[in-house]
């Protein structure tokens, strides 16, 4: 499958999942996780019960919803859940009561600055009900009485997430995480899980006996990662070598990185290298955090995790609105994100600390890897190769070689392959532990 | 007492001390030290005798002066000590002799580039006599003979300084030093000693049982700090955790820092944090040194000391002239400097290495410290709080948290207080040793 | 001998050596090495035999040449070796054969972008024959048949280089290397060997019993340094403290540095310091490498070596052409380069880690090293001195003092001498091991 086809396939997955009403708990999220389990059967469910304590938090009730709308006394319905599940405040308590229009104001959420879009609003830890609609629609609601109807349940149940570990020669893990709690929005967040699923399949196909182990996790944001960490953080702390939180990876507008807490770990250099040379690269420090990197990098947890986005959450106009749809997320956007992560996986599998096998400068000419006539400018075509050899000392990662030489990771990987094939370079300190 | 009243009180102290004729030795300096001892009786006198060796230096003779002037043959007097003690070369030897005007030139100091002001000039280590006047006045001196009269003494005596230690739970000390050797100038240097005295009183009032110990030293510049160090440097080396040299802290024009020798110690970050967000902050490396930080940071002494100034010595037009008066130094200026140092003291007393008490992200919502409805932009109001929690790992000082998050120290302190009150944060590695 | 005379002498050496036809092997190179041995008899020859393996390379055949030209059927000769040895492809195989003009094209090297100059082209590791001429001349070659005549030999023989060690109190070595493989070009490369020879003589004359040991090496580029390293790299690794590759050091246009592999060793700071304050200083990272620093800093070799150039190889228009002559290289240019390296040698011999001998601030006034009247601005004349004293802590090299204080190395050295003479500063951690 070429990259364009893969982009189309990821897009198709996202489109099929788009209508599900996800939240931090409930059937929509569970069905979403089952969908991804169909793609990669290695995924196992992990369950937390309502009321269970996870670090400083308690697992909330399970939320399920059948229908919701505001019905005008004329019979005309507004904010219909059946048309768009963003219309209901996510995690809303049930209600069936008649209000005057003027008494509904606090329970209708809009974005006055973006009057044409329906906002995505949640209230997980304080029970309330509400509807979301465009500011225009709210302003044009006819006078009169309205039946506020939300047929939802909040009851003891479970919070679900799935994880899978592909075991490699080393127990050290490359870790990927994404979220399954957002209802009908495409970039934030169906792009992340579909990319993660494609990467997991790639590892299995490309590296059936990988050098590193690989861990993939799909979970609701915040409470899901907190729950997962509460159960697994000792294991993660001992095993995660580099981790990537995937969020908003489906558009074509930028390539973004949110660095780990101090921005100084190998994973930061890895993602930087993979983005080097691409168009519109944006690097955010940890101050730009907001997704689960917040939890993975929290004091005391301190996993080497950074977040990869195209247009970062909070930084694009459609964020957390119904405009975050398939005008934003495209096959090309998803394919571009896959390419970035694929390069990183390939880099780790080749051995991220290449080491030249001969002392001093290798003689490339006799291997056909260097021009035999030397004249001014004759080495321009092999500069990347010579640069690579100059830093392939077994202690400098290929991500750092990319940084030092200011060359994109894929260029570095190409030279690594050529010189490995010529038996001039070996995998150095790869696979620690 | 509010901050404005405190500024007025400090200004009043400076005004009362302004007329004293201070030098590196002598009665004027001794009386100045006694004045400050009245404010903080914990101050103890330390005495060095003339001729005593202190490192590479010898304690010079004690200088006292009664009167001085240049008297024209007409009886008209110029450069009258009685009108302004800057008119006599500080530390001048006695003289009573008649000279022709043209023979006086070498003994009259002016600043041709600033023709309206009287310069402050000293000659401590080479006995000479001289007068200081404005260049305009010198140019207009009438022809004729002049009696040069300086009724001073240079005799065996003492060099005096005072110090005080407020003992805390830890023997580690926060150190403050300022100078008492300058005659009638306000910013350089009455502002420093009055700020130091106000800070000492603040610590006693606010922290009667402090976590850190606090050392306060008032001394003549250069020879005084050298003498003090020659007797106490082993103690200081083992105890001083962070130290501040206070000089020129009374004007309103800038906030300046002279970094310690390599600019990389906690004290540098502490002062940077306390200045962050203020107007017209100037950071000088150690190349901008010139006050006692030179001695405190000298090779082999190496105390973690930096200098705090408003307009730094040498950098403002009135420096070392009679224009350095109460047009320069104001109650508001002194109060602003107090605020800076107070924040640092508060930071140390709260524990400069805060540590979050729960693993992973705390649930702020249930404590009323976070909005319960989540919508785009809803966390803007708690960003400082979340940033603080993300770095309160027990190993990152609040000064570094200020730096990393680019937020003023007082904002960091506010969040620290709120989260401490909620029992979410504890003092981490505070009070080493 | 003053510096200008020395420049003239170096220029004279270069002019005498200019006509020799050097290559990586052969008589021209051997005679060049003998010429330098006459200047410094300590040089010893080191010989490698054709076919000997040196790391990843084999020593190539020895090349010698008597004559070469292209002779038109009219009898007119072109590309005459006798007129300029750049006209023959360096290391060309012998040939004596008649060709039509149109069949010669691949064997005539020109630079179309610089149509007036003869390029320098080599083919060491793939046997071929060829001529070099200006593009203009090639375009104007008359139609007809040409006799291509190259009277050269490629036969088993030797590769030669010379080295010398001047033993000092410490076995740690300051290392200098330059190349003797380039035929008639002045900057690249006769400037390097003549500077190296002058420096070697300087060390012997100025420091007959030096503190450091000094190693000087003259060798063909690439294969010569690889051969030398293959035999001596263990010794070099244990002894070389700082090393300098000298190349293109004879023009007046710039002062350039190519840093060592990571740019973070003492030698990088040493050369930076010696260049500080000069006109048109250019600092290249190791990405700008291309001379033997490539080999000296290669992974696993890792000597602390950087390259000193005026206009760096590859960066000036005359590079690798017959225009690289004595319009480019001047006595003044060579003398300026000598000055740079001389300062570094002097710095090492004085002890590169100066240490102040008194605690706290020395009293300079009583030694006549400080003004005795203190007034605004009075210390400007002694700022460099005070800065030096503030960092002469025995752990900060004078190269770092130059960097921190932003003062040229020779200014630092001057203050070091003055303060050493006053017995205020001693050689600190000089001569490790």
- Chain segment A343-401, per-residue pLDDT in tens: 999 999 999 999 999 999 999 999 999 988 888 777 888 999 999 999 999 999 999 99
Backbone angles phi, psi at C298, to 5 degrees: -60, 150
What is the DSSP secondary structure assignment for residue B240, as one 8-state letter? E
Verify that B344 and B262 share a domain, yes or no: yes
Contact of A281 with chain C, judged by CB distance below 8 Å, is answered with no
Strand partners for A44: A163
* Cα–Cα separations (whole angstroms), residue C33 to A164, C38, C43, C361: 68, 9, 9, 53
Each residue's pLDDT tens digit, C197-243: 999 999 999 999 999 999 999 999 999 999 999 999 999 999 999 99
Determine how β-strand A158-166 pairs with β-strand A213-219. antiparallel
Contact of C303 with chain A, judged by CB distance below 8 Å, is answered with no
Which band of pLDDT confidence, cut at 50, 70 and 90, is reported for residue C433?
very low
Q: Is position C110 within any domain?
A: yes
Which of A236, A299, A313 to mutate: most B Cβ within 10 Å?
A299
Report how many domains make up chain B: 3
* Contacts of residue A31, Cβ cutoff 8 Å, sequence gap at least 6: A20
- Which of A361, A376, A404 lies nearest to residue C294, judging by beta carbons? A361
**Cα distance between residue B130 and residue B148, in whole Å:** 9
- Of C317, C349, C381, the one marking the end of a domain is C349
Residue B115's nearest CA partner among B137, B83, B84 is: B137
Burial of C368 (0-12, 13-18, 19+ CB in 10 A): exposed
- pLDDT at residue A378 in the model: 78
- State mean pLDDT over C397-402: 97
Contact of B405 with chain A, judged by CB distance below 8 Å, is answered with yes
- Which of B123, B299, B300 lies nearest to residue C372, judging by beta carbons? B123
Cβ atoms of residues C339 and C2 within 8 Å = no
Verify that A243 and A145 share a domain, yes or no: no
- Of A318, A349, A380, the one marking the end of a domain is A349
- pLDDT at residue A149 in the model: 98
Number of CB pairs, chain B paired with chain C, less than 8 A apart: 86
- pLDDT at residue B430 in the model: 55
Which of A360, A363, A426 to mutate: most C Cβ within 10 Å?
A360
Each residue's pLDDT tens digit, A400-412: 999 999 999 999 9
- State mean pLDDT over A242-263: 98
- pLDDT at residue A433 in the model: 46
Contact of A428 with chain C, judged by CB distance below 8 Å, is answered with no
Name the residue of chain C whose CA is nearest to B301's CA. C360
C325 has pLDDT over 70: yes
Helix (H) or strand (E) holding B42: none
Residue B120's nearest CA partner among B133, B129, B107 is: B133
Q: Is position C393 within any domain?
A: yes
Each residue's pLDDT tens digit, A9-21: 999 999 999 999 9
Which of B353, B359, B360 to mutate: most A Cβ within 10 Å?
B360
Verify that C107 and C124 share a domain, yes or no: yes
C-alpha A324: how far from chain center: 15
Which of C23, C24, C56 to mutate: most A Cβ within 10 Å?
C56
- State mean pLDDT over C336-347: 98
Q: Do B363 and A57 touch (CB under 8 A)?
A: yes
Verify that C422 and C292 share a domain, yes or no: no
Other beta carbons within 10 angstroms of residue C201's beta carbon come to 15
Contact of B291 with chain C, judged by CB distance below 8 Å, is answered with no
Which band of pLDDT confidence, cut at 50, 70 and 90, is reported for residue C430?
low
Report the CATH number that the domain containing residue A140 is assigned in CATH. 3.50.30.90
- Of C349, C384, C407, the one marking the end of a domain is C349
Question: What SS3 string covers chain C?
Answer: CCHHHHHHHHHHHHHHHCCCCCCCCCHHHHHHHHHHHHHCCCCEEEEEECCCEECCEECCCEEEEEEEEEEECCCCEECCCCCCHHHECECCCCEEEEEEHHHCHHHEECCCCCCCCCECCECCCCCCCCEECCHHHHHCCCCCEEEEEEEEEEECCEEEEEEEEECCCCCCEEEEEEECCCCCCCHHHHHHHHHHHHHHHHHHHHCCCCCCEEEEEEECCCHHHHHHHHHHHHHHHHHEEEEEEECCCCCCCCEEEECCCCCCCHHHHHHHHHHCCCCCEEEECHHHCCCCHHHHCCCCCCCCEEEEECCCCCCCCCCCECCCCCCCCCHHHHHHHHHHHHHHHHHHHHCCCEEECCCCCCCCHHHCCCCCCECCCCCHHHHHHHHHHHHCECCCCHHHHHHHHCCCHHHHHHHHHHHHHCCCEEECCCCCC
Domain that residue B165 falls in: 3-60+158-349
C-alpha B268: how far from chain center: 15
Report the CATH number that the domain containing residue C375 is assigned in CATH. 1.10.10
Cβ atoms of residues C253 and C310 within 8 Å = yes
Helix (H) or strand (E) holding A83: none
**Cα distance between residue A19 and residue A28, in whole Å:** 9
Please give the share of chain A, as a percent, with pLDDT higher than 70.
99
- pLDDT at residue C336 in the model: 98
Q: Is position C229 within any domain?
A: yes
Q: Do C374 and B123 touch (CB under 8 A)?
A: yes
Angle formed at CA A83 by CA A77 and CA A85, multiple of 5 degrees: 110
- State mean pLDDT over B69-76: 97
- State mean pLDDT over B356-375: 91
Three-state SS at B346: helix
Verify that B342 and B360 share a domain, yes or no: no
Q: Do C361 and B122 touch (CB under 8 A)?
A: no
Contact of B234 with chain A, judged by CB distance below 8 Å, is answered with no
Which band of pLDDT confidence, cut at 50, 70 and 90, is reported for residue B429?
low
Verify that C36 and C144 share a domain, yes or no: no
- pLDDT at residue C372 in the model: 84
Strand partners for A63: A154
Verify that C340 and C254 share a domain, yes or no: yes
* Cα–Cα separations (whole angstroms), residue B108 to B148, C50, C372, C392: 11, 84, 16, 37
* Contacts of residue B201, Cβ cutoff 8 Å, sequence gap at least 6: B39, B40
- Spell out which residues of chain A touch residue C109, defining contact as CB-CB under 8 Å: 373, 375
Please state at what angle helix C383-391 crosses helix C398-405, rounded to 10 degrees: 130
Q: Do C56 and A356 touch (CB under 8 A)?
A: no
Helix (H) or strand (E) holding B282: strand B281-284
Verify that B277 and B164 share a domain, yes or no: yes
Burial of C316 (0-12, 13-18, 19+ CB in 10 A): buried
For residue B431, give how far its alpha carbon lies from the nearest alpha carbon of chain C (Å): 28
- pLDDT at residue C429 in the model: 61
The overall longest dimension of chain B from CA atoms, in Å, is 89
pLDDT, mean over chain C: 96
Q: Is position B68 within any domain?
A: yes
Q: Do C122 and A387 touch (CB under 8 A)?
A: no
The overall longest dimension of chain C from CA atoms, in Å, is 89
**Cα distance between residue A257 and residue A407, in whole Å:** 18
Verify that B262 and B207 share a domain, yes or no: yes
Name the residue of chain C whose CA is nearest to B109's CA. C375
Cβ atoms of residues B64 and B178 within 8 Å = no
- State mean pLDDT over B164-192: 97
Which of A56, A293, A313 to mutate: most B Cβ within 10 Å?
A56
Window A:102-161, CB contacts with B under 8 Å: 109, 111, 119-126, 128
Name the residue of chain B whose CA is nearest to A91's CA. B373
Q: Is position B432 within any domain?
A: no
Least confident of A232-236, B375-379, C274-278: B375-379
Name the residue of chain A whose CA is nearest to C291's CA. A361
- pLDDT at residue B433 in the model: 45
Each residue's pLDDT tens digit, B129-148: 999 999 999 999 999 999 99
Verify that A272 and A362 share a domain, yes or no: no
Verify that A282 and A343 share a domain, yes or no: yes
- Spell out which residues of chain A touch residue C226, defining contact as CB-CB under 8 Å: 360-361
Number of CB pairs, chain A paired with chain B, less than 8 A apart: 86
Cβ atoms of residues A311 and A245 within 8 Å = no
Contact of B404 with chain A, judged by CB distance below 8 Å, is answered with yes
- Spell out which residues of chain A touch residue C124, defining contact as CB-CB under 8 Å: 374
- Which of C361, C363, C366 lies nearest to residue B298, judging by beta carbons? C361
C432 has pLDDT over 70: no
Verify that A85 and A221 share a domain, yes or no: no
Report the CATH number that the domain containing residue C334 is assigned in CATH. 3.40.630.10
Name the residue of chain A whose CA is nearest to C234's CA. A359
- Spell out which residues of chain A touch residue C301, defining contact as CB-CB under 8 Å: 359-360
Q: Is position A433 within any domain?
A: no
- Which of B356, B360, B366 lies nearest to residue A226, judging by beta carbons? B360
Residue B153's nearest CA partner among B125, B127, B177, B172 is: B127
Residue A294 structure tokens: 């917040």
* Contacts of residue A63, Cβ cutoff 8 Å, sequence gap at least 6: A23, A24, A25, A26, A91, A152, A153, A154
Contact of C295 with chain A, judged by CB distance below 8 Å, is answered with yes
Q: Do B360 and A298 touch (CB under 8 A)?
A: yes
- pLDDT at residue B372 in the model: 84
Q: Is position B431 within any domain?
A: no
Each residue's pLDDT tens digit, B237-278: 999 999 999 999 999 999 999 999 999 999 999 999 999 999
Three-state SS at A244: strand
For residue C406, give how far its alpha carbon lies from the nearest alpha carbon of chain B (Å): 10
Which of C353, C356, C359, C365 to mutate: most B Cβ within 10 Å?
C359
- Spell out which residues of chain C touch residue B319, defining contact as CB-CB under 8 Å: 376
Q: Is position A362 within any domain?
A: yes
Contact of A258 with chain B, judged by CB distance below 8 Å, is answered with no
- State mean pLDDT over B393-404: 96
Other beta carbons within 10 angstroms of residue A37's beta carbon come to 17
């Amino acid at each position: 499958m070429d990259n364009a086809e893969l982009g189309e396939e990821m897009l198709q997955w996202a489109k099929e999942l788009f209508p599900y009403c996800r939240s931090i708990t409930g059937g929509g999220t569970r069905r979403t996780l089952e969908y991804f389990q169909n793609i990669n059967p290695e995924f196992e469910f992990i369950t937390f019960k309502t009321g269970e304590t996870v670090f400083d938090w308690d697992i909330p009730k399970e939320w399920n919803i059948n229908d919701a709308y505001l019905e005008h006394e004329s019979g005309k319905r507004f904010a219909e859940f059946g048309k768009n599940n963003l219309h209901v405040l996510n995690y809303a308590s049930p209600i069936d009561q008649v209000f005057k229009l003027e008494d509904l104001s606090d329970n209708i959420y809009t974005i006055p600055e973006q009057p044409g879009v329906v906002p995505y609003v949640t209230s997980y830890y304080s029970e309330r009900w509400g509807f979301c609609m465009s500011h225009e629609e709210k302003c044009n609601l006819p006078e009169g009485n309205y039946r506020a109807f939300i047929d939802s349940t909040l009851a003891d149940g479970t919070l679900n997430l799935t994880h899978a570990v592909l075991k490699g020669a080393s127990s050290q893990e490359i870790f990927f995480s994404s979220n399954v709690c957002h209802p009908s929005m495409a970039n934030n967040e169906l792009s992340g899980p579909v990319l993660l699923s494609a990467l997991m399949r790639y590892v299995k196909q490309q590296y059936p006996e990988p050098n590193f182990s690989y861990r993939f996790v799909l979970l609701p944001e915040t409470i899901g990662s907190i729950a997962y960490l509460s159960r697994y953080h000792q294991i993660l702390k001992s095993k995660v070598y580099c981790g990537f939180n995937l969020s908003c990876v489906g558009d074509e507008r930028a390539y973004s990185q949110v660095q780990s807490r101090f921005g100084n770990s190998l994973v930061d250099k890895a993602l930087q290298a993979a983005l080097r040379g691409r168009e519109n690269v944006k690097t955010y420090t940890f101050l730009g955090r907001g997704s689960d990197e917040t939890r993975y990098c929290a004091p005391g947890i301190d996993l080497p995790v950074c977040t990869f986005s195209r247009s970062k959450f909070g930084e694009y106009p459609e964020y957390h609105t119904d405009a975050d749809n398939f005008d934003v997320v495209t096959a090309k956007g998803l394919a571009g994100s896959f390419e970035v992560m694929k390069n990183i996986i390939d880099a780790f599998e080749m051995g991220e600390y290449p080491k030249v096998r001969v002392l001093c400068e290798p003689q490339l000419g006799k291997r056909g890897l260097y021009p035999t006539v030397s004249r001014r400018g004759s080495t321009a075509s092999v500069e990347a190769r010579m640069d690579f050899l100059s830093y392939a000392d077994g202690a400098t990662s290929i991500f750092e070689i990319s940084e030092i030489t200011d060359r994109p990771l894929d260029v570095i990987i190409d030279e690594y392959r050529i010189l490995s094939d010529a038996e001039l370079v070996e995998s150095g300190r790869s696979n620690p532990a």
